[in-house]
């Protein structure tokens, strides 16, 4: 069971399940997320104010969070933070909102950004290898 909001087809196409736990405006200053299952390590309301917010390419989310977001509860528990995802309209980006203590938010944001960059580079290397293999398979002029 994942702990994030998905509102766009681009996330659904990645195979991530829709989740009902968040409100779409929960990360704005002065408002609390509408999530019903706030983890016990997140102090209400102080840890829900002033979240860390950043964007990740939507295509990287499945690699980062596993099928149907199955790794999110583990990441939240280990990082002592709470995550919320929000697809951005007409964009291939998803907003990641991190709630928790000051240090937990910063540490989690850094970790997730590092994971996203690692997966991006890995996919890029895979595409380069695929292009090289396709070039190598072109055995004669009749293939062009």
Residue 33: per-residue pLDDT = 54
As a whole number, mean pLDDT of residues 63-79 equals 90
- Can you tell me the mean pLDDT for 22-49? 66
pLDDT digits (tens, 9 = 90+) for 117-144: 998 898 888 888 888 888 878 755 555 5
Tell me how far apart the alpha carbons of residues 117 and 133 are, in angstroms, rounded to a whole number.
Answer: 24
Which residues have a Cβ under 8 Å from the Cβ of 131 and sit 6 or more positions away?
Answer: none
> What is the Cα–Cα distance from 107 to 113, expressed in whole angstroms?
10
The pLDDT tens digits for 9-30 are: 434 433 333 232 333 333 443 3
């Amino acid at each position: 069971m994942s702990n994030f909001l998905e509102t766009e087809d681009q996330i659904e196409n990645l195979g991530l399940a829709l989740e009902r736990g968040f409100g779409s405006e929960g990360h704005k200053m002065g408002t609390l997320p509408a999530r019903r299952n706030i983890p016990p390590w997140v102090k209400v309301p102080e840890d829900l104010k002033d979240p860390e917010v950043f964007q990740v390419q939507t295509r990287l989310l499945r690699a980062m969070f596993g099928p149907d977001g199955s790794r999110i509860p583990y990441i939240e528990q280990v990082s002592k933070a709470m995550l919320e995802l929000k697809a951005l309209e007409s964009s291939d980006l998803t907003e990641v909102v991190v709630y928790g203590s000051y240090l937990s938010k910063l540490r989690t944001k850094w970790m997730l950004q590092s994971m996203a960059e690692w997966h991006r580079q890995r996919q890029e290397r895979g595409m380069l290898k695929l292009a090289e293999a396709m070039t190598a398979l072109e055995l004669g002029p009749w293939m062009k």
